Structure 1
Amino acid sequence: MARQDSWHGMVDLIERVVGEDDLLPSVVTGVRSTVREVAVLPTADIAGHTRALLAAATRALAARRGPTEAELSFVEELGSTRARQGVPIEAVLGAIHVAERAIWSRARDAAASSGIEAQVLLDARELYDDWAQAVRSRLITAHRAADTGRQTGDRDLVVLRRLLEGGSAATLAAAEAGLPAGGGLWILVARPDDSALEQSLRDQGPVLIAHLDGLLVGVFTRAPGVRAARRPGGGSTGPAGLAGPAEPEELGTVRRLALSALTAAESTGRTGVVHVADVAVLAAVADRADLTAMLTDRHRPARTELGAHAEAVAAAVRAWLESGRDVSVAAERLFVHPNTVRNRVQRFAALTGIDPADPFGAMNAWWLCRAWLASDDDQQR
């Protein structure tokens, strides 16, 4: 009876953890910042599927069973959907792993404070692992089936995938695509809805372009020229991240650098083609979700103290730094009085202990404010 009561206590604890208001936003933020291929998906999409998987796993734990056919049907639909969206199966599994780690970390901490025996927690985790293994197996099968159908007849996409695999396969794929690698190759990534940019890039030649993992990905024998960043009627295209040059076997890594450049460009409002070397610091910041978490945890009391004013203060500090510490320019950007910007910067410095006038303090201040604002955006969605 005592063991049965312990199990009921464990199930209640899991349900409480899953039901915490900040869990889902936290998990979604972690997934989007850690698994770059998934970050292109709408927040609501990630949240909806995560919520459904959490609910199914909780029901399975409560009943001490594996997944039902109804649950596996949902998993099949998820696998097919992600394949159609161009999200690789490795990224799908990586996103699930990030969510699992966050949830079980909370469950472990809650169990310790609730008096749940370690053996009961271990039993629950083993049962969950069995459930998750069956789910992953069905997910992989469904994704592969859908992905195979999606790739049929799309030669450029097939060649591009091989090119990004690295090694000798990449060298052969480059030769097949007519991409001489003597001077190195360049990779550009952009959002897939900018048709003007895509057409301009295709005119650069020789070039291999395809829609992959929810992005427009292009491989070039030389860096795309300035005209690739211009619309036919004038004006700049949306941002595109560029990295290179590199040998074919290194293009997998270079593609990730180009994606980092795209993310950095979007976060600072840049347009046109942006090389990762031009936004190196911003790209490094975007890639360190672990340090971002540490930074925000370190200054959580300051954000709590700011309360409803946190977003306005963060926006003022960020605008001030991005305007070269020019109060007037920042105020015009935010449609507020210059004194308002000064007061908010001073308030931020007083509560966090960060001196944004110091070069290193400025980077920490910008990084922290960017994280605060990104978190607010995710919660509003």
Structure 2
Amino acid sequence: MNKEAESPAREQRGRVLAALSLEDIAADAAVTVVREVPAYHGHDTGQVRTELLAVLEPVMAFLREERDATAAEQAQFAAFGALRAEQGVGLEPLLEAFRLTTRRAFDALYEQIRRADAPQVGLDLARDFWAGCDRLSAAVVQGHRERELEKAQAAQEHRTLLLRQLLTGDLPTEYLATAATALGLDLRTEYHVCHARPGKGRTIAAVERALRPHTAALLAEPGTDRVIGLTTRPLPARMTLPVGLGSARPLAQLRESLAEAERSDELAVAFDLHRCVRTGELPLHLAVLALPSVGEQLVERCFGHTTGERRTTLVRTVDAYLATDANADQAAAALFVHPNTLRYRIRGLTAATGLDPAHTEDALTLWWAVRHLQATGSGSRS
């Protein structure tokens, strides 16, 4: 546009905008919003009109001054979106109210453009109007989403705190009902605590994903490198990782179940059991962990005559042999060796130590030695 044409066009633009009655537009839009947007049903129309006017006035100022919103003005619209989120107005109804309002404003603007009979000015105004509305609605959306995220994070932190206090027994009895409601639990139901740690290439997130489908509430603690959950029933027999499970207890007694779950998880991890271990399920394994000096003596008794790779091979052979109840064919298949090779190794063990896996006491001695090596990381599982 040349300078000669610029001034008349700007004057025409000013006359079109000056003819608009923002008060009427806001009043009309307020009635429509309260009537058509369910989230605004029951709201005071006068208050809604005031709020809509606060949105329309900056838009018209941008059009009059032919400029974009400043960073400060965009921040004000973001704050408007955040306030609506704080008040519980969802993003969808907020945008619907914004759409209805801008639609009313544009209809009024279009009527003034038509009366002015200035096509080019009208095109410029329409373009600037919608561009300004887009930028401001984006700011509103950003503010709303950020506040919703903050609220969600705060709510999650609150639930995490309640669950942690339930598990540690630090939650006062008078808050049990509040905690149960917040966590979606039932005061009348007893819950098992399950406990798992990442380990061996697994992340906290991977453990959380494995447990979540089976739990009513879940607490991931990266700081202590563990995941704790509550479930109303035992976990599946096979899991993708070691898990400990405590006894079913009322919400007020979860601390005891947690202690059991931790001990069971310790067993599951020590013996690399990729399944759920229930409290009291493996008393002999627990004894192996509790009596390391006994384990060391038995390792010397059973495998002291071998070292290095020979010991590793023999430990794996004995483990497989005991796991199949002394079935040489099945144990050999598990180790991918010929049955005669396995029998030769067992005969060699008996000749060197006097221990015969076919005898119950000798089998228990060998089993204990293998489990001790496994728990201490000094042996290999079949």
TM-score band w.r.t. shorter chain: 0.3 to 0.5
Tell me the TM-score normalized by structure 2: 0.46
